[in-house]
Amino acid sequence: MDLSPIQNAVASGSYATIADACDELMLQVASRGIAYQEDWPFTVHLLGHIFANDLNSARFLWKSIPQGFKESKPELVAAWRIGQCLWTCDYSGVYDAIRGFEWSPEVAGLVTAFSENYTKKMFQLLSSAYSTIGVADVAHFLGMSEDEATNYALQHGWTLDSSSKMLTVKKPKIITEQKLDPSKLQRLTEYVFHLEH
């Protein structure tokens, strides 16, 4: 079984493409009647879906993995724990799941990249959802200690009221690009023509 498309994706750090590569290859291999399950990189496949935030595919993949594999591969179970926490919106549980396992070199890069992305995404969510938020909660959502979380927030322009331990959010400036290029005029002409006839 030629797993090179998946291995290349992992090695080159194009983590966003892993899930699709795995899916396509799995379907191809299965259609040839090859018994692929024994050697299939389920952990990488699962983490690929988690990285792409496709929790539905992650869940379906987990359901289709034979029970024996789930019992004999602790790394696979650890990867699924991340997915479970994401699915149940256990925001801080995700960090526990990431840090609570010694990842093999094969997937360590993928897990680290996911962790960084996740922290950034959580911070963006907090920026858009909150006007003021407690330091303890920020620490909880970002999986950091209170001091680390405070520094992270201050670096991004938030302000701290040390007496109440409240952070005030600085909303990111939304750049609205409104310049139109001439090719769009062609489109507009087509619309008007269509409407007139």
CA separation for the pair 75, 47 (Å, rounded): 11
CA separation for the pair 37, 67 (Å, rounded): 12
Q: Minimum Å distance from CB 96 to another protein? A: 18
Residues near another protein (CB under 8 A) are 23, 26-28, 30-33, 54, 56-57, 60-61, 63-64, 89, 125, 128-134, 137, 164, 166, 176-180, 184, 187, 190-191, 194
Q: Which is nearer to another protein, 10 or 58 (CB)?
A: 58
Q: Which is nearer to another protein, 112 or 128 (CB)?
A: 128
What are the C-alpha distances in Å from 36 to residues 19, 71, 118, 155? Answer: 17, 18, 32, 48
Q: Which is nearer to another protein, 173 or 194 (CB)?
A: 194
Q: Which is nearer to another protein, 21 or 103 (CB)?
A: 21
Q: Minimum Å distance from CB 131 to another protein? A: 5
Q: Which is nearer to another protein, 105 or 129 (CB)?
A: 129
Q: Token pair of 102, please?
A: 């010694």
Q: Minimum Å distance from CB 19 to another protein? A: 9
Q: Output 136-144 pairs: Cβ under 8 A, ≥24 positions apart.
A: 136/165, 138/167, 140/91, 140/92, 141/91, 141/92, 143/92, 143/94, 143/95, 143/96, 143/98, 143/99, 143/119
Q: Minimum Å distance from CB 56 to another protein? A: 5
CA separation for the pair 13, 40 (Å, rounded): 20
Q: Minimum Å distance from CB 65 to another protein? A: 10
Q: Minimum Å distance from CB 121 to another protein? A: 9
User: Which is it for strands 159-161 and 166-168: parallel, antiparallel or unpaired?
Assistant: antiparallel
CA separation for the pair 149, 166 (Å, rounded): 12
Q: Which is nearer to another protein, 148 or 190 (CB)?
A: 190
